[in-house]
A and B are shown apart, each in its own frame.
Chain A
Amino acid sequence: MRVIVDGRTYEGRAVDLTETDVSAAAVVESVSTADPPIRVDCPAPGDAHEHVRRLPPETFDRRAALAAAAQALGHTSPARAALKDAQSELADLSAPPVDVDAARRRVAETGETEKRLRERVAELRGRLQARRETGADTTAVRAQLNEATSRLAEAETERIAAEQALERAETVARDARDHRERRLELEDRVANREREVRRDLAAAVWGQFRAALRSVPGTAAAGSTPGTYDGDRVTAALAVARLAPLDAPVVIDGLDRIDGADAAASILEAPVIYTG
């Protein structure tokens, strides 16, 4: 590994940058991006590196980190085939649109129009009746009533057509939802298989993890059953960093229990950039 900061070149498996102004975040970024703030020449980081690229880690998913380390060590899970199948089935599945909005809106609008016209007809009928009783001229009101009545008939036809269209759209939507339901089942299956694969992989390196815990600073205890861990995440992360085959450097920043770049590289059995 080679690191260049302010024109000065650092080389080796353990690089100490405590004397520079470079931040740990900048170094971490430089290990894995194409356009880095500082120049770090090193092999491309793998999936396991992602979990322990900076120690102590801000967050740490122990099982996922162990699974990534196990995979890097060549372990596999019997559930992987089923996971691949579920993933490809999911990728092939299309989810057609449901599209009932427009039909719903039309039913609401035509219903509203019909209701308004019905009220108008009732009102005109009342007015006509009143004029008849007082012997007043009814010609104008009658014409209005005729017009309103025929518009009401039209509105009613429209509303019925809209309701039928909505019913048809709902039938199509039901099919689309069947597809979506199937997709959700597959999404769940993929998630379950992924969990299974992670669990298998993590279990495959559990013995190595327990051994690594004894070689890194920190107090933690792991039982013989995979997953039984009692300790802090920093110790777990250190153990994973030690057991994972890491080609890209781990950035150590503000980790009191390890003193210096060389000590870190030897404890973690990995290339290290030490920023303090």
Chain B
Amino acid sequence: MLLVVTYSRAARTTLRNVRRTHESAVVRELGRAALFEETELGAFLALRLRAKHGDDVQIERTRPFNEFAAVRKEVRDAAEAYENRETASTPYDKFAAGTDHPDPDAMRGTDL
């Protein structure tokens, strides 16, 4: 999908108008952003916004996130385990220390 994010009041207003008039091309509305369907019409609407508001419009192309293909098991397990921790106040780095769960710094430095 195409993620369109606006960075000014004027651009945000235009985005709202586009969402209203082209509902079918809009997959999701997120405040000052929107997800457009990945069609030529979606691209046309996004580019029109950028033509009008320049740098106040950011367009990104998204793809579905498949954690089973993109993320190693240790990270997935750690997320699950941390959410099931006994003490809600334990920060993750403390939780992970001395266990097999990945270290937050190591995760930060590793691209998917």
Contact = CB atoms under 8 A, between A and B. Distances in A.
A180 B58 CA distance: 11
Contacts of A95: 55
A181 B8 CA distance: 8
A260 to B, nearest CB: 45
A177 B6 CA distance: 10
Q: Which of B6, B8, B12, B55 has the most CB of A within 10 A?
A: B55
Interface string B1-19: 0000011110010000000
Contacts of B9: 184, 187-188, 191
A98 interface: yes
Interface residues of A, number: 13
Interface of A: 95, 97-99, 176-177, 180-181, 183-184, 187-188, 191
Given A180-B7, A187-B8, 7 more contacts: A97-B55, A98-B55, A177-B7, A177-B58, A180-B8, A183-B8, A184-B7
B55 A181 contact: no
Q: Which of A180, A187, A188, A191 has the most CB of B within 10 A?
A: A180
Where chain B touches its partner, the secondary structure class is mixed
Interface of B: 6-9, 12, 32, 55-56, 58
Contacts of A180: 7-8, 55-56
Contacts of B6: 184
Contacts of B12: 184
Contacts of B7: 177, 180-181, 183-184
Nearest to B8: A184
13 contacts: A95-B55, A97-B55, A98-B55, A98-B58, A177-B7, A177-B58, A183-B7, A184-B6, A184-B7, A184-B9, A187-B8, A188-B9, A191-B9
Nearest to B50: A101
A122 to B, nearest CB: 28
Contacts of B8: 180, 183-184, 187
B58 to A, nearest CB: 6
B32 A184 contact: yes
Q: Which of B6, B7, B9 has the most CB of A within 10 A?
A: B7
Nearest to A98: B55
Contacts of A191: 9
Contacts of A99: 55
A163 to B, nearest CB: 14
Contacts of A187: 8-9
A176 B54 CA distance: 13
A126 B32 CA distance: 53
Per CB-CB distance, the 7 closest pairs between chain A and chain B, nearest first, are A180-B7, A98-B55, A187-B9, A184-B7, A97-B55, A184-B8, A181-B7
A276 B36 CA distance: 55
A176 B32 contact: no
B57 to A, nearest CB: 9
B25 to A, nearest CB: 22
A21 B81 CA distance: 85
A177 B32 CA distance: 14
Contacts of A97: 55
Contacts of A183: 7-8
